[in-house]
Structure 1
Amino acid sequence: MKSPVASLLWRSLRVYQVFGANTDVGKTIFTTLLARTARKLWKDEQVSFLKPVSTGADDQADDLYDSNPIPLHTRNVYDVPCSPHAAALASGRPVPSDDVLLSRCRESAAQCAAAAAAAAAAAAGGKGWLFMETAGGVHSPGPSGTTQADLYIPLRAPSLLIGDSRLGGISQTISAFESLRIRGYDVESVLLFREDLYRNHDYLAEYFLKNYGIQVSSVSHPPRRHDDAHRDAEAMQTYYDRKDSQEITAQLLGTLDDKHAHRLSRLDSMASKASRHIWYPFTQQSLVGPEDIMTIDSAHGDYFQTLGPASQRSSSASASASKEAPVLRSSFDASASWWTQGLGHSNPKLTLAAAYAAGRYGHVMFASAIHQPAMSLAETLLRGMKNPRLRRVFYSDNGSTGTEVAVKMALRAARKRYGWDASQKLDILGLKGAYHGDTIGAMDCAEPGIYNEKIEWYEAKGYWLDYPTVLCKEGNWTVTVADGLDSHFGRGRAYRSLHDIFDVEAREASGQHHVYEEYITSTLQRLRDQGRQFGALMLEPIVLGAGGMELVDPLFQRTLVHVVRKSSHLFGTPTRPLSDLTRDPNEWTGLPVVFDEVFTGLYRLGRFTPSSFLGVHPDVSVHAKLLTGGLVPLCTTLASDSIFGSFLSPDKTDALLHGHSYTAHPVGCQVALEAVREMQAMEARGQWDWARAQGWARQGAAESEARAADVWSAWPRSLVERLSRLTDRVAGAWALGSVLALHLKDSSGSGYSSNAAVGLREALDQGRSGGGGGPWNAHSRVLGNVLYLMASQVTSETSIRQLSELLMESIRKS
């Protein structure tokens, strides 16, 4: 099976990628000069020259003017002297995809690393060199049309930039550098020809040293090309042999050699340093050593580039064996970086959105102020929710603070509606296993449990109902009833498909909600008789994430909202006649309904908002994580005018006195605006139709209806049902949107303290050692006996297939 492409880093090979500020700036001449000097200084080492894409006739190639040429690897050669994307089309041959081109680059580099390791072993030490030259300028398109600055990001090779010595070359060179830097390239040095008229090299040397600490090297211009090929070759040979040019490149190569060694040293030592100095979240560090810490060199798309286990071992035998082994491996981000990742790591669109806002605003005050990113994002979210109740947007920093804001909103609205005194204790109504964040107020909204029971100031402020869940068991989609609830709900029920379970209106029409309605009503009546007072209904719609990846029966949550909204008499006596309140269909009744969509919102489950699965509109909703596509922290709490009005009065102390220093920071708002619009465009383009076709689409449904209504996942239905039949280990499984959850059996009980999923997680982490793209694995996290895998919204069908195969292999191994 084809493996994802890992970055280019070996102990036996120094790899440097050569970019040009423009075409015809001397990339090949400089690369040849570097390679020749490297071979002269490191006589026993392998020196190689790779051109991933070459255009134009061979007899015009500058690398031919070497009487003792460096081994040259060219992977995609086109005769037409034009941009690679145009040359590829003109060739009449199939145009290689970006993945194919990158795989070919890595295969060539791996061959060079193996040859370098062999040469080093024969010479008792040393490393090789590989110089990889791009075509044209930084943003010249590759064969597929992707600009090279974006195309080569996954390889993460440290880079050399060949500057432009011509008129206008200063601007061209700085712009090219910024294009590379903003995409995360390490530009180690700038080289250019010395031009006495414009003297670009003088300005650029001062500019790059002052602003970035980067060395600029310049050499004299090569001789003009001669019509006679033989005389031209002789002239170039003389040029390459010039002492001054060789001295300059020798000094640069020494610096590059040191940088390679420093990079390896930094990667090797980082985990040990982190173990001594970093305090990790959700980690018992007495159980974690340096060998348990994942060192991330970079990330792109769905993959981290992580220090491989062979590279982390310190014995001399393993160090010798790892000489030829790649230092880094691709690690699929199977927790979506704690559920935040949506549009891929180092996404250029989001990077540029962040840079634009940082350049235009930096950070600015938000109280009683407005800026375009915040305004546009608010309008986009309110439109996207399609919720007539929601009219206001409050900005905060993250999900925990956003849910605290939501609670403050809801409790104030309930207190004013029912005329309660501010000193009265008000509780939250929710579901067992709920989790709304780690700040004290958010923790108080959850029942006592492993996340909060040892926190000194924690005080449970609510009542949390039991509920039925959804699992695929032995190939059957079932609504599962836990022990103790069967007297209320019966023994559960099997359905033909997940879609049938989510067809809540049809189930409601058949009366399936009545048992839920009776259970919820009787529970609320009992709580009223006990003197309990509630200020809000707070739910994580569809899935309780940190509580164990529980997929709640959507009909239960729908019924719960309906019962609460028609049961004002169970919560208090409104200060206004009920007939006045029900006149406005968007006025809240019973209790304010708060949806914590921090995890489940914004396409994590396949839809803009998970409330659409339930067919109900919350009065307050909270959104974070996917809000910025996975780049920066930001949270929004959306509320109705009815909720907002509870804070209006002539007394300024009645306002919502909550705020953050970085409220509505323009960088986050601009990135979120770009992310939300991109995900909406992906949905409109049908970009996830391949996933719907993996057994999820409802048979017989029209295409437009299927796209709008069907319940689907990026994970194939056949995979979920296959996993559910592994009954010796698996209690059940489910998939929805980008989430796959596997509930494993544990005789000692389920929950966060269970270790039932640890072995499977370790098998996924072991991954696969080979393949054209290099070693790769899946970095996953577990919630007790539940292992979950989470794709992003840009994960490809190929990646899902690879991960599905790795998952099945890992289950057999663990």
Structure 2
Amino acid sequence: MSSLFRNLRIHQVFGANTDVGKTILTTALVRASAWKNVPVHYLKPVSTGPIEDADDRHVRFFADADSKEVHANCLFRFDEPVSPHLAARLSNRQADVPSDEAFVNAVAENIRRTAQRISRLSHMYVETAGGVHSPTLSGTTQVDAYRPLFLPTILVADAHLGGISSTISSYESLLLRGYIVDLVLLFKDAYYRNFEYLTPYFSERGVRVLSMEPPHKRLANPDEERAKMDEYYSRLAPDCLQGGMFDALDHLDDCHARRIAELDSVPQRTSDTVWWPFVQHGLMKAPSDINVIDSAFKDFFSIYNGHKAAIPDSADTSLLEPQFDGSASWWTQAIGHAHPALALAAARAAGRYGHVMFPEGTHAPALKLAERLVHEGPGKGWASRAFFSDDGSTGMEVALKMALRAYASRNPTPSVDGLRRKGLGILGLKGSYHGDTIGAMDACEEGVYTCEWHDGKGYWLDPPTVSNKKGRIVVSLPPSMAEDVMEVDVGSLQQAYDVQSRLETPLARLYRSFVARALEKLKKSYIPEIAALVLEPLVMGAGGMIFVDPLFQRILIDVVRASGSHSPSGSAGGWSGLPVIFDEVFVGLYRLGLQTTGPLLGVNPDISVHAKILTGGLLPLAVTLASDSIFRAFNSDSKLDALLHGHSYTAYPVGCEVANETLSIVEKMANGGQWDGARARWNASGGSKETSVWSFWTPDFIDKLAKLDIVDEVMTLGTVLAFKIGANTEGYRSHSAQIALESLRLPHPEQALSSAPGGAPFGVHYRTLGNIAYFMLSLNTPSIVVETVESRILATLHTLRD
């Protein structure tokens, strides 16, 4: 986890290369701190080479050997003077080489112990080994391995030949991973004079540069060498306590103070300036309720707690604490926050393209993404075209335009005019939600999300739902469908989602009859004219995490398509009955453990929309896929027949490149066995990966959760967990779930210490939908994090029960 203490100023020291004077300059910093009577702590996480040459010994001797204010420590020591990953491999303790998580936890624990020991303002320096990308013990490069700690950084520049390039490259590597570089230190080499170039370079970027005289060439006589080095350090940190490294100390202390002051001021400034979405500002009690996110990494936010009255403000209490991102940041996260591969992909495309015009043009990231989505991804077997837009809501606007035009083109009337086309509507399900733009709103019934301009254009059926009620997997029928039998047992989760085997059941016949009657009624008496079927397959997210019976959605599609005179979708004649739109913005690309929902339902759409996971939570992008028959409705010799819809950032190269990188990572997980354990726990390992259902949440947890008195029902698929608190009928207006889970936000000291980055207890950030509580994982959330979150949820609900 990130660490920030009021009375412990910590900086991590990275080198632009090996042999750049990192230890010498760090020693001078430690010595300057000690001479200012500031307790100072030096940590060398990994040391390689003979003990007599160890950096921590050098620091302890030259910083101020007699001072009780200097503390030097090393966590992992290896004899071979080679790269840490190789030294670990060559040692006879290879079996004890820690993982990246254990390594970072050890560093974080040392920082915590240090903070607990201090009684007044202190300094701490964590010196890395070699260059920025030198490997750690596991082989992961340092810049990535240390990232969970997110410590403010000192970069020691390279004064040698080629040092300008290596220094700038190191700096950019740090920036790409979000590091805060507070200071650049380097030697004044009289021949190469890199400092003359690097000083203005970094100054223009707001980074302070201090250059120091270089040390002498090492002397052969040990006694003479020690005396000469002591004399050298006296010049860098003189007795007058001014100049040299004392300027560096003042600057670093100022950076530390300004960072805390900035974080202290953020809540009130936000409260005075920002208008949040989906938030009633009148219910915000005070600025202390604001979640100040200082950084994020993997599944966790690093939040500032210094403005919260409930948190003791003491020297040994970190002002930053980890918080599990329980909503996957509004369902966007797929592989965790700040994934370095995605940051590099974004930089790669930004550096090559920035943004470029797309109409009548193309570029590699967009073409690659379009081809993989159409031919290998969710469009495989039915789609022929990919249309790019900005986000899920605009992607749905595009889908609606496609479907309505296709319908109007195939169903002309003798007096075709604009009025008839404007009166076309859609068929959907109650509880659906397709975004907040006006057109997407109009594709939903009146509800809490709609605005004054809302003009719902369509008809919405009340869907049957699947849920786990006290250990039983049941389908709950709405009153409009059945008055006597309201619940039907469907066996296991696997049986509930085995659509093919349920097609000839009595429930399927009931669904066919219900849908046929509804369509007949609409044809005779309903205005507007229904022109498309729009569905959120399997789960309707914002409407309350409604797990729709997949059999009902399959029957609905079949009956709708059979109602037309044209041939079924996928054949030469294209779509039949009504164009079918799948809104897979939320559920697609493995959110539910499936790449796409079509194979499970046994039918493909004519149009589908994809976003959120598409770019791994890094930036917005949406793609609307369409069949060839839909595309042909717009294809003619007249420009007025074209799809006259677009966005300034259509096919944004940065978004497309990030999407391609995300899909590569996700597909590797899907096909590489990473999820096999979770699939096996849900008895899904023997089935087709395209149709079998399973969850990253454990079956035992779901069983315990479902049987709690306070929980009315629970459901899970893939990364998604949702449960209803009580039988509350207020829906979205209810605060029951929010209130019930409030204590989850606070860290629990007894939880497993290794489950969060840095090994610290963490709170859980969550969002609710009225009386529905939901939680979401990434596709690579470690099992120990899942288990810890599960135990926290159960403990919180048990407390309410007791």
User: TM-score, normalised on structure 1?
Assistant: 0.93
Q: Identify if the C-alpha distance between structure 1 residues 752 and 405 changes in structure 2 by more than 3 Å, giving closer, same or farther.
A: same
Structural mapping, 1:277-676, within 5 Å: 277-288=273-284, 289-308=286-305, 311-313=306-308, 321-382=313-374, 383-385=376-378, 387-420=380-413, 421=416, 422-424=418-420, 425-452=423-450, 455-487=451-483, 490-510=485-505, 512-532=507-527, 533-568=529-564, 578=566, 584=571, 587-676=574-663
**Partner Cα distance (2:776, 2:525) in 1:** 42
**Partner Cα distance (2:339, 2:92) in 1:** 31
Structural mapping, 1:32-181, within 5 Å: 32-41=27-36, 43=37, 45-65=38-58, 66=61, 68-69=64-65, 70-93=70-93, 94-116=96-118, 118=119, 120=120, 127-181=121-175
Per the TM alignment, residue 314 of structure 1 is displaced from its structure 2 partner at its CA by: 5.9
Q: Note if 1:763 corresponds to 2:743.
A: yes
Could you tell me which amino acid in structure 2 is paired with residue 205 of structure 1? T
Per the TM alignment, residue 689 of structure 1 is displaced from its structure 2 partner at its CA by: 1.4
Per the TM alignment, residue 793 of structure 1 is displaced from its structure 2 partner at its CA by: 1.1
Per the TM alignment, residue 482 of structure 1 is displaced from its structure 2 partner at its CA by: 3.3
**Partner Cα distance (1:367, 1:171) in 2:** 39
Describe the SS at the equivalent of 2:386: strand
- Cα pair 2:479 2:486 within 8 Å, conserved: no
Q: Quick one: which of 186, 189, 201 aligns to 2:180? A: 186
Per the TM alignment, residue 231 of structure 1 is displaced from its structure 2 partner at its CA by: 2.8
Could you tell me which amino acid in structure 1 is paired with residue 116 of structure 2? A
Per the TM alignment, residue 368 of structure 1 is displaced from its structure 2 partner at its CA by: 1.1
- Cα pair 1:690 1:797 within 8 Å, conserved: no
**Partner Cα distance (1:557, 1:36) in 2:** 71
Describe the SS at the equivalent of 1:395: strand
Deviations 1:45-95 (A, max 9, x none): 321001111111111135434253431121111111111111111113221
Describe the SS at the equivalent of 2:318: coil
Describe the SS at the equivalent of 2:139: coil
Per the TM alignment, residue 621 of structure 1 is displaced from its structure 2 partner at its CA by: 0.2
- Cα pair 1:389 1:586 within 8 Å, conserved: no
Describe the SS at the equivalent of 2:419: coil
Describe the SS at the equivalent of 1:24: coil
Query: Comparing 284-293 with 764-773, which one deviates more in the overlay?
Result: 764-773
**Partner Cα distance (1:274, 1:386) in 2:** 42
Q: Identify if the C-alpha distance between structure 1 residues 531 and 456 changes in structure 2 by more than 3 Å, giving closer, same or farther.
A: closer
Could you tell me which amino acid in structure 2 is paired with residue 18 of structure 1? V
Structural mapping, 1:226-265, within 5 Å: 226-242=219-235, 247-265=243-261
Could you tell me which amino acid in structure 2 is paired with residue 51 of structure 1? K
**Partner Cα distance (2:309, 2:745) in 1:** 20
Q: Note if 1:11 corresponds to 2:6.
A: yes
**Partner Cα distance (2:624, 2:467) in 1:** 31
Per the TM alignment, residue 585 of structure 1 is displaced from its structure 2 partner at its CA by: 5.1
1:573 is matched with none
- Cα pair 1:19 1:133 within 8 Å, conserved: yes
Per the TM alignment, residue 719 of structure 1 is displaced from its structure 2 partner at its CA by: 1.0
Query: Comparing 603-612 with 370-379, which one deviates more in the overlay?
Result: 603-612
Could you tell me which amino acid in structure 1 is paired with residue 225 of structure 2? D
- Cα pair 1:691 1:797 within 8 Å, conserved: no
Query: Comparing 585-594 with 158-167, which one deviates more in the overlay?
Result: 585-594
**Partner Cα distance (2:712, 2:158) in 1:** 64
Q: Identify if the C-alpha distance between structure 1 residues 551 and 531 changes in structure 2 by more than 3 Å, giving closer, same or farther.
A: closer
Per the TM alignment, residue 769 of structure 1 is displaced from its structure 2 partner at its CA by: 4.2
Per the TM alignment, residue 510 of structure 1 is displaced from its structure 2 partner at its CA by: 4.1
Describe the SS at the equivalent of 2:434: coil
Structure 2, unpaired ranges of 5+: none
1:743 is matched with 724
**Partner Cα distance (2:182, 2:245) in 1:** 13
Per the TM alignment, residue 228 of structure 1 is displaced from its structure 2 partner at its CA by: 3.3
Could you tell me which amino acid in structure 1 is paired with residue 498 of structure 2? D
1:810 is matched with 796
Q: Identify if the C-alpha distance between structure 1 residues 665 and 386 changes in structure 2 by more than 3 Å, giving closer, same or farther.
A: closer
User: TM-score, normalised on structure 2?
Assistant: 0.94
Could you tell me which amino acid in structure 2 is paired with residue 811 of structure 1? L
Describe the SS at the equivalent of 2:643: coil
**Partner Cα distance (2:517, 2:509) in 1:** 12
**Partner Cα distance (1:249, 1:191) in 2:** 10
Per the TM alignment, residue 775 of structure 1 is displaced from its structure 2 partner at its CA by: 3.7
- Cα pair 1:444 1:458 within 8 Å, conserved: yes
- Cα pair 1:595 1:618 within 8 Å, conserved: yes
1:713 is matched with 695
**Partner Cα distance (2:731, 2:47) in 1:** 57
Query: Comparing 191-200 with 762-771, which one deviates more in the overlay?
Result: 762-771
- Cα pair 1:7 1:329 within 8 Å, conserved: yes
**Partner Cα distance (1:370, 1:681) in 2:** 27
Describe the SS at the equivalent of 1:598: coil
- Cα pair 2:153 2:180 within 8 Å, conserved: yes
**Partner Cα distance (1:277, 1:208) in 2:** 32
**Partner Cα distance (1:510, 1:17) in 2:** 65
Could you tell me which amino acid in structure 2 is paired with residue 104 of structure 1? A
**Partner Cα distance (2:126, 2:97) in 1:** 21
Describe the SS at the equivalent of 2:185: strand
- Cα pair 1:715 1:740 within 8 Å, conserved: yes
Describe the SS at the equivalent of 2:148: helix
Structure 1, unpaired ranges of 5+: 1-5, 121-126, 570-577
- Cα pair 2:44 2:56 within 8 Å, conserved: no
- Cα pair 1:14 1:257 within 8 Å, conserved: yes
Per the TM alignment, residue 248 of structure 1 is displaced from its structure 2 partner at its CA by: 1.6
Deviations 1:327-353 (A, max 9, x none): 011011110100001111110000000
1:572 is matched with none
Could you tell me which amino acid in structure 2 is paired with residue 457 of structure 1? W
Structural mapping, 1:725-804, within 5 Å: 725-726=707-708, 728-747=709-728, 749-769=729-749, 771=753, 773-804=759-790
Describe the SS at the equivalent of 1:451: coil
Deviations 1:279-330 (A, max 9, x none): 111111121131221000000000000012xx21469xx76x4332110110
**Partner Cα distance (2:599, 2:148) in 1:** 37
- Cα pair 2:615 2:621 within 8 Å, conserved: yes
Query: Comparing 212-221 with 519-528, which one deviates more in the overlay?
Result: 212-221
- Cα pair 1:596 1:622 within 8 Å, conserved: yes
**Partner Cα distance (1:322, 1:633) in 2:** 40
Q: Note if 1:724 corresponds to 2:724.
A: no
Q: State the identity as a percent.
A: 45
Could you tell me which amino acid in structure 2 is paired with residue 216 of structure 1? V
Query: Comparing 526-535 with 49-58, which one deviates more in the overlay?
Result: 526-535
Per the TM alignment, residue 646 of structure 1 is displaced from its structure 2 partner at its CA by: 0.8
Per the TM alignment, residue 232 of structure 1 is displaced from its structure 2 partner at its CA by: 2.2
Q: Note if 1:206 corresponds to 2:196.
A: no
Per the TM alignment, residue 783 of structure 1 is displaced from its structure 2 partner at its CA by: 0.3
Q: Identify if the C-alpha distance between structure 1 residues 622 and 286 changes in structure 2 by more than 3 Å, giving closer, same or farther.
A: same
Describe the SS at the equivalent of 1:197: coil
- Cα pair 1:50 1:132 within 8 Å, conserved: yes
Describe the SS at the equivalent of 1:411: helix
Describe the SS at the equivalent of 1:513: helix
Could you tell me which amino acid in structure 2 is paired with residue 547 of structure 1? G
**Partner Cα distance (2:569, 2:255) in 1:** 70
Could you tell me which amino acid in structure 2 is paired with residue 720 of structure 1? I
**Partner Cα distance (1:262, 1:426) in 2:** 58
**Partner Cα distance (1:175, 1:128) in 2:** 32
